[in-house]
């Protein structure tokens, strides 16, 4: 298994600002992912965070809006840029140490 922590656990932000979410894993993992869960909805994959290269984004998500860093095998950040109220969601980091996927506790973001 893997122990995943995220910072911050929650935040309230003003429209037009940006927030960077951190994800820390207790072991080195090759595959790390970022998900979004909008209110009342299921999880949606945003992107795959690749160590040493640019992230791979899913359809509907772009790097300018959600820049991702992956400086090493235990850490990644997701930035939500130029926020609007529609970005209010829970953002989740996820890893696959071997062949089972585990999720972090999530960051609850509210944009006013």
Task: In whole angstroms, give the CA distance from residue 47 to residue 68.
Answer: 8
Give, in degrees to the nearest 5, the angle at Cα 19 between 59 and 45: 25
**Which one among 25, 66, 104, 109 touches another protein, defined by CB under 8 A?**
104
* Alpha-carbon gap, residue 14 to 65, rounded angstroms: 16
Which range touches another protein (CB under 8 A), out of 12-20, 38-46, 62-70, 71-79?
A: 38-46
Residues facing residue 95 across a β-bridge: 32, 102
Among 13, 22, 24, 45, interactor with another protein by CB under 8 A: 45
Task: Kindly write out the interface string for residues 54-93 of this chain, putting x where it contacts another protein by CB under 8 A and - elsewhere.
Answer: --x---------------------------------x-x-
Beta pairing partners, 109: 11, 89
Q: Which of 19, 25, 33, 70 binds another protein (CB under 8 A)?
A: 33
């Amino acid at each position: 298994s893997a122990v995943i922590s995220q910072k911050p656990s929650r935040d309230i932000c003003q429209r037009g600002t940006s927030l960077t979410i951190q994800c820390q894993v207790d072991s080195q993992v090759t595959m790390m992912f970022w998900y979004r869960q909008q209110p009342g909805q299921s999880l949606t994959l945003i992107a795959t965070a690749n160590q040493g290269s640019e992230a791979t984004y899913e359809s509907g998500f772009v790097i300018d809006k959600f820049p991702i860093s992956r400086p090493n095998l235990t850490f990644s950040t997701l930035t939500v840029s130029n926020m609007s109220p529609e970005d209010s969601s829970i953002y989740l980091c996820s890893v696959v140490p071997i062949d089972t996927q585990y999720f972090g506790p999530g960051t609850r973001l509210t944009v006013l």
